[in-house]
Structure 1
Amino acid sequence: MEQDYKARKEAFVSNLSGGDINEINTVALVASVSTLLWSTLQSRLSFFEPYTPTALFVDFLLNVGAILFSTTIYSASPLLLNILLLTPAIFILLSSRSTRSRQKQAKPSQPNQQRNATGLNKSDDGKKAPESSPVHPFLTTYRAAMMVVTCSAILAVDFPIFPRRFAKVENWGTSLMDLGVGSFVFSAGVVSARSILKAQAAGTPQQSSLFRRLAAASRHSIPLLVLGLIRLYSVKGLDYAEHVTEYGVHWNFFFTLGFLPPFVEIFHSLYSIIPSYEILALLTTTAYQVALESTDLKAYILVSPRGPDLLSKNREGVFSFIGYLAIFLAGRASGLRIIPRGTADNKIASVQQARRRVLISLAVTAIGWTVLFIFNSTPAMGYGARIPVSRRLANMPYVFWVSAFNNAQIFLFCLIETWLFPAVHKATDRETEAEKSNFATSPIMAAFNKNGLAVFLIANLLTGAVNLSFNTLDANAWQSMGILIAYMALVTAFALGLQVSGLKLKI
């Protein structure tokens, strides 16, 4: 009986073909629209301050519940959910005046401010100038939303209420979970730019010893590789249902994440020769796609019998790593442009112009990746290459799709912050900036972002516990939603608990 159930579980997530990209975008838009409603409530009504139990419940409902609902009970009508979230935001925006007394405090008082040599405002009362690479609320929200979607989907996919078109495809096609895997890597690439920016701010040479950088990267990789081994042995030891064609017999996503840092450092050595991570990403994915099309590599990955050697058994994970590396590099390219404040550049006359430049950069980059995706994966008026998307291969159109989506997603979050919380990027000292950033950031989203690895790990453990103790395949809608809501509540409580305790474990 147990073997029959295991076979049913494996069949439940196998041989899937995905769904339409437009529907995926509509579902993903729920995260941005939820953020718009949260930001409207906070900026116009200060609804989440103080952070009462009611505020916590609404915060959870908007930033966690809405995302869960979009992939389950509203999966057939995600546009309706977007409308339901957007309507109260529009009503509040039209019916109430902006209560930005907090934000007005951030405007510089001209007699007490002077422009320093770097172009940053420096007050006469000794307050520290804002960070050159601050923690942006829009990036916090972007990464947290990605984490919420990931944690929600890894358990929801085991229930019938989660549509099969949202689950990972077998060979060719697009799905929400395929996009989520790539977005996880892209977001890690975005925040990895901080290490480069900090080195630049400290005057550290751009190209320090490759050996030292590899050693530092390996230290970061070890926890992830250990988690990969723990997952491997627990899955095999518990005879847990697994989808072998996803990454291979032994490989899993933790191994992909763990091997990225040292390989990225090798590519960083090329940065002095090719000073653009976008170009490095393009060269990487192009070389990989050429190998797929001009050799037997594609057939080897997709249809070759699994031989006794480790490479053959894990060929999906090993070769798709090249595509994920390109996605990581594309993410780092975006991070290098959007994380810096921008006003340190003497060519930038104001913080408004600096923020405008970030928005334009995100929009142009998103459009650029989108154009590449269209010409790569569609007929495109007879000029397109018509290469289908494959998450299993992590091929070129997959890289372009993930890069385009994430730049567009960050653009939307940045636009919302710029519109409703302008005081954040106008702050003239660190204390004010921290106050405005806290005001503009959901505590739940801040908690998910701060402890991404720990939250992802606990979500995996809870997912395993649910699957080992409950028949998810035969659950009805009420049972499914009850378990999923309780699960996401536990994951959220864990994230908030780590936040309150001050513990921090980065991805």
Structure 2
Amino acid sequence: MGSRATADPPIPDFDSDPIPANRSLEERLGLVGESEIYDSLWFTTLIQSWESLVLILSTFWCILLARVVTQKLRLNGSPNLCYAVEFILVILPCILLVTVAVDYSYHIGLVMFLVTLWFLRRTKALERARIRSHFDLGGNRPMAFSVLRALTHLITAICILAIDFGSFYRPYRKSRQFGAKLMDTGIGLFVFTMAMVSRRTRHWSDLRRSVLYSALPLILLGLARTVAILMLGYGQDAHEYGQHLNAFFTLGFTKFLGALVGLLARKDLHLLPLGFGLLLIHQFGLSVLGISDYVMDEDVERSNLFDANREGLVSLPGFVALYLVSIYVNRWMVATTLLSYSELVKKLRRLFYLVLILWSLFVISTYGIGISRVTCNFGYVIWMLAIGSTTLWASFGAIDLVINSVMPWEANQLEEQEKGLLTGDTPVKGREKSIVPFTINQALNQNGLTFFLVANILTGGVNIFLEPEDRSNFESVLILLVYMFIATKMAHELLKRGVRIA
């Protein structure tokens, strides 16, 4: 078939003395040799996806740990101390797990599993959950949504700089054509989480609002990034989005086209066949009409605007399909947010069935057509839906069912004003004292785009002035910590002051 997986070229070794940790799971199991590390055979792709999921869920577990510790220590009245604890418990482990500590990721995962079992037994959380009168998931913006959005921002921000260091775990790098590596998840999860805070376009006024306040700013940022790169002579891999396009363009055009296509849906349920119908047509073009071969053929010259940016343009239908289906998942999850115990368990069970179906489709897609971020094919969209749904299931279960049954967050009358931080709405300005759980999460949800812009600017500065490819493992971790401190602290200060930029 036209889009069957082919081998990625080996990535040059930027580290003359690579650390033993930079070995993939298939190497450690003795399944493949050194020359086959980047060969995207279907089984290797499955292993890549597993490694990516382990990292995502490990970081998610660290967020849960930070919630328990900060609330147990009653740090909500001290926003700076709360931030410091969360930085140590969430950001530091994530940096280590993509660099020098990757060889211990499965040992750390085992510890996380055992601690979870101990917590469930010690607190009797499941028994407490059964006797609760109701479960309030948080309205249209449940905490599970904000956790997934912040998780995406954190991992992406860390990886866009960490990749330039020799200590970065090489199998996490983006696939050139086919593959399911950690950095392949970035743009897909951004689209998924963008849909989490979006609604179906019902009227032309909704379309104008989406274009003016969401799509247009992203497109302008994409244009600014392209102009800046051309002026500075900063390198850009044309095999990601093309010579001139970038992730901001993809997000902006996806938002615009998704809002436009959404007008065809009379109700939320119609988004499901609309999205999958578009996805099947997209895959037909990739596989049967040979569009996938055209996109990935390096002999095709970039002689005109379309050829030069074929990766970014051809992938748009797939991202729009992902956006539409993700909106439906969002609307289904928040259709009823005040639930009894049996209703919550029923919803979690149905979400778990969806997770099983999506991962089964992912395995089939991996064998049949491959997983390609470059073209955003059927397999890639299913993969993003599987990761997003898995994280949502884990988040609703861990936060709403377990943690809130043991350590409920009970806001007093003054703290009711802070509900904007819990739901994603704009918080009241001028409040500095009562910061809700998941401080960094809420900061990134309030000013996620601002955070990501600062992270991109800092990444460019590090590459220009600090020569990351020449840094030792210790230096690379130290630089990453300072970089993430500056970016997250900026967002945290805005949160404390109730300032929302973008």
Query: Is the TM-score greater than 0.5?
Result: yes
Identify if the C-alpha distance between structure 1 residues 452 and 404 changes in structure 2 by more than 3 Å, giving closer, same or farther.
Answer: same
Match in the other structure for 2:384: 402
Match in the other structure for 1:468: 464
Pairing 1:69-468 to 2, within 5 Å after superposition: 69-85=96-112, 94=121, 133-193=139-199, 196=200, 207-208=202-203, 210=204, 212-219=205-212, 220-272=214-266, 275-303=269-297, 304-343=299-338, 350-378=339-367, 386-417=368-399, 418-422=401-405, 431=416, 434=419, 437=422, 441-468=437-464
Contact preservation (8 Å) 1:37, 1:86: no
Cα displacement (A) at 1:310: 0.5
Residues 441-497 of structure 1 deviation map (CA, whole Å, 9 limit, x = unaligned): 311111011111111111000000100112111211011001001101111111102
Identify if the C-alpha distance between structure 1 residues 132 and 227 changes in structure 2 by more than 3 Å, giving closer, same or farther.
Answer: same
Letter in 1 for 2:323: F
Residue 25 (str. 1) matches residue 53 (str. 2): yes
In angstroms, what is the RMSD of aligned CA positions? 3.5
Of residues 296-305 and 466-475 in structure 1, the stretch that sits farther from structure 2 once superposed is: 296-305
Contact preservation (8 Å) 1:320, 1:394: yes
Residues 61-118 of structure 1 deviation map (CA, whole Å, 9 limit, x = unaligned): 12222222221122222122234445555556655688xx9x9xx969xxxxxxxxxx
Contact preservation (8 Å) 1:16, 1:170: no
Contact preservation (8 Å) 1:40, 1:93: no
Cα displacement (A) at 1:405: 1.0
Identify if the C-alpha distance between structure 1 residues 339 and 433 changes in structure 2 by more than 3 Å, giving closer, same or farther.
Answer: farther
Contact preservation (8 Å) 2:66, 2:89: yes
Identify if the C-alpha distance between structure 1 residues 440 and 503 changes in structure 2 by more than 3 Å, giving closer, same or farther.
Answer: closer
Identify if the C-alpha distance between structure 1 residues 258 and 436 changes in structure 2 by more than 3 Å, giving closer, same or farther.
Answer: closer
Identify if the C-alpha distance between structure 1 residues 428 and 353 changes in structure 2 by more than 3 Å, giving closer, same or farther.
Answer: farther
Cα displacement (A) at 1:313: 0.4
Cα displacement (A) at 1:163: 1.5
Identify if the C-alpha distance between structure 1 residues 250 and 488 changes in structure 2 by more than 3 Å, giving closer, same or farther.
Answer: same
Contact preservation (8 Å) 2:145, 2:193: no
Letter in 2 for 1:366: V
Match in the other structure for 1:67: 94
Letter in 2 for 1:218: V
Match in the other structure for 1:497: 493
Equivalents in 2 of 1:140, 1:307: separation in Å? 40
Equivalents in 2 of 1:415, 1:395: separation in Å? 30
Cα displacement (A) at 1:255: 0.5
Q: Does the residue aligned with 2:198 lie in a helix, a strand or coil?
A: helix
Equivalents in 2 of 1:431, 1:216: separation in Å? 29
Give the unaligned 5+ runs of structure 2: 1-10, 16-36, 41-46, 423-433
Equivalents in 2 of 1:10, 1:332: separation in Å? 39
Contact preservation (8 Å) 2:77, 2:435: no
Cα displacement (A) at 1:217: 2.0
Cα displacement (A) at 1:226: 1.1
Residues 343-369 of structure 1 deviation map (CA, whole Å, 9 limit, x = unaligned): 4xxxxxx43344334323422222222
Residues 191-222 of structure 1 deviation map (CA, whole Å, 9 limit, x = unaligned): 113xx5xxxxxxxxx842x3x33322220222
Equivalents in 2 of 1:238, 1:11: separation in Å? 26
Structure showing greater radius of gyration is 1
Match in the other structure for 1:112: none
Letter in 2 for 1:355: L
Equivalents in 2 of 1:252, 1:34: separation in Å? 31
Letter in 1 for 2:403: L
Contact preservation (8 Å) 2:286, 2:292: yes
Equivalents in 2 of 1:217, 1:185: separation in Å? 14
Identify if the C-alpha distance between structure 1 residues 89 and 56 changes in structure 2 by more than 3 Å, giving closer, same or farther.
Answer: farther
Cα displacement (A) at 1:140: 1.4
Cα displacement (A) at 1:134: 4.2
What TM-score does the superposition give when structure 1 sets the normalisation length?
0.79
Equivalents in 2 of 1:174, 1:75: separation in Å? 17
Equivalents in 1 of 2:349, 2:119: separation in Å? 28
Residue 49 (str. 1) matches residue 76 (str. 2): yes
Letter in 1 for 2:58: V
Letter in 2 for 1:60: F
Residue 58 (str. 1) matches residue 85 (str. 2): yes
Aligned pairs, number: 447
Contact preservation (8 Å) 1:10, 1:243: no
Cα displacement (A) at 1:402: 0.8
Contact preservation (8 Å) 1:424, 1:436: no
Q: Does the residue aligned with 2:315 lie in a helix, a strand or coil?
A: helix
Cα displacement (A) at 1:42: 4.8
Residues 315-334 of structure 1 deviation map (CA, whole Å, 9 limit, x = unaligned): 00001111111221122111
Cα displacement (A) at 1:307: 3.7
Residue 486 (str. 1) matches residue 475 (str. 2): no
Residues 98-144 of structure 1 deviation map (CA, whole Å, 9 limit, x = unaligned): 8xx9x9xx969xxxxxxxxxxx9xxxxxxxxx898343222211211
Q: Which runs of 4+ in 1 moved over 6 A?
A: 9-13, 423-430
Residues 401-427 of structure 1 deviation map (CA, whole Å, 9 limit, x = unaligned): 111111001111111112111486999
Identify if the C-alpha distance between structure 1 residues 183 and 435 changes in structure 2 by more than 3 Å, giving closer, same or farther.
Answer: closer
Contact preservation (8 Å) 2:435, 2:496: no
Identify if the C-alpha distance between structure 1 residues 338 and 441 changes in structure 2 by more than 3 Å, giving closer, same or farther.
Answer: farther
Letter in 2 for 1:221: A
